[in-house]
Amino acid sequence: MYDLMLKDGILKGKRILVTGGGTGLGEVMAEAYAQLGATVYICGRRKGVLDETAKRIADATGSKVSGIACDIRVAEAVDEMVGTIWADGGALSGLVNNAAGNFISRTKDLSPRGFNAISDIVFRGSFYVTLACGKRWIEEQKKASVISILTTWIWNGGPFTVPSAMSKAGLNIMTKSLAAEWGPHGIRFNAIAPGPFPTKGAWERLNPAASGNNEAAARMTAGMARNGEMVELANLAAFLMADGCEYLTGQTIAIDGGMHLAAGGNFSRLAALGDAEWDAIRGQIRSANDKDKVQRSV
């Protein structure tokens, strides 16, 4: 439970899907929505993780929270999941495109499969979920709010995270394009570009010990020189989902304490690393990936 700035019950009657809501920032937003009265659905590939999170949040908030195993890279599976949600009480009123994959790597070391591992989740998968919901909203004349979770490197580039930077930049322009195209249907699109909010999933792949804990060093000097607090993200995500600011659409809001303005907010400092360090980084990321993989149910 968070000490939120919006009043209790403000999201009562809302039905919200948070992709990747079983862990990290998705879990934070799912909890905030449930705490404010919404019915919440979370999806991901690890059913056990989803069930545990859904139960924890439902017990804490008293709201209905359901976990659905779905790999958003598979368009048919996405359509089936969205159909299941619609059949379970009607249309969604909100969607958060939060699920993502990422790892630091020199771009010259990436294989096509390595590029696709990230872009298939972020770029294609987020579009599949948006489309599956959007076509139903338009058909049924339902209003909705869509929030996509981006990164600040959509503005100045993401050295050493190029597949993520390209994919998130694509979602940024989806946000603006669909704000205009689907605005007449009452569907609004906004995005959040967070700075560093330490989560297990991100830190294992972006800040492994072998990288010299690059983000930790950067934080000492840039902007507000601290990590984001989960409640700060929760408040922004709740505000963008709540009624009362329907005229706000097509916008991407950075929440990074000014880091990208002060010091770029990306991984350019990794240029100092050599072959041996990159080998060690790859090994550490692989062992994190392998541990998560054994828990996958789809």
| Planar angle of CA 164, 167, 170, nearest 5 degrees | 145
Q: Least distance from C-beta 249 to ligand HXC, angstroms?
A: 24
Q: Residue 22's binding partner, choosing from ligand HXC, ligand NAP, none, with beta-carbon cut-off 5 to 8 A by kind?
A: ligand NAP
- From 4-12, 94-102, 173-181, 224-232, give the range in contact with ligand HXC by CB under 6 A: 94-102
Q: Which of 159, 201, 228, 257 binds ligand HXC (CB under 6 A)?
A: 201
Contact between 202 and ligand HXC by CB under 6 A: the answer reads: yes
Q: Least distance from C-beta 222 to ligand HXC, angstroms?
A: 12
Three-state secondary structure string covering 2-27: CCCCCCCCCCCCCEEEEECCCCHHHH
- Residue closer to ligand HXC by CB (options 214, 235) is 214
Three-class SS state of 143: coil
Contact between 111 and ligand HXC by CB under 6 A: the answer reads: yes
> Is residue 94 within 8 Å of 15, Cβ to Cβ?
yes
Q: Residue 23's binding partner, choosing from ligand NAP, ligand HXC, none, with beta-carbon cut-off 5 to 8 A by kind?
A: ligand NAP
- Residue closer to ligand HXC by CB (options 33, 153) is 153
Contact between 206 and ligand HXC by CB under 6 A: the answer reads: yes
Taking CB atoms, the residue at the shortest distance from ligand HXC is: 101
Neighbouring-strand partners of residue 255:
194
Contact between 289 and ligand HXC by CB under 6 A: the answer reads: yes
Of the chain, the end-to-end C-alpha distance in Å amounts to: 30
Contact between 108 and ligand HXC by CB under 6 A: the answer reads: no
Q: What is the CA radius of gyration of the chain?
A: 18
Q: Residue 285's binding partner, choosing from ligand HXC, ligand NAP, none, with beta-carbon cut-off 5 to 8 A by kind?
A: ligand HXC
Q: Which of 21, 170, 196, 228 binds ligand HXC (CB under 6 A)?
A: 196
Contact between 285 and ligand HXC by CB under 6 A: the answer reads: yes
Residue type, 272: A
Using DSSP bridges, classify how beta strands 94-97 and 144-149 pair: parallel, antiparallel or unpaired.
parallel
Spatial strand order of the sheet with 15-19 comes to 65-69, 39-44, 15-19, 94-97, 144-149, 187-194, 251-255
Three-class SS state of 68: strand
| Planar angle of CA 125, 130, 133, nearest 5 degrees | 125
- Dist. CA 218–CA 206, nearest whole Å: 13
Q: Residue 25's binding partner, choosing from ligand HXC, ligand NAP, none, with beta-carbon cut-off 5 to 8 A by kind?
A: ligand NAP
Q: Residue 134's binding partner, choosing from ligand NAP, ligand HXC, none, with beta-carbon cut-off 5 to 8 A by kind?
A: none
> Is residue 191 within 8 Å of 253, Cβ to Cβ?
yes
Contact between 270 and ligand HXC by CB under 6 A: the answer reads: no
Contact pattern from residue 120 through residue 159 relative to ligand HXC, giving x for each residue in contact according to CB under 6 A and a dash for the rest = -------------------------------x--------
Beta-carbon-side half-sphere exposure of residue 229 (alpha carbons within 13 Å): 7
Nearest Cα to Cα of residue 140 among 76, 201, 185: 185
Give the residues lining the site for ligand HXC (CB under 6 A).
Answer: 100-103, 105, 109-111, 113-114, 117-118, 151, 164, 196, 201-202, 205-206, 282, 285-286, 289, 293
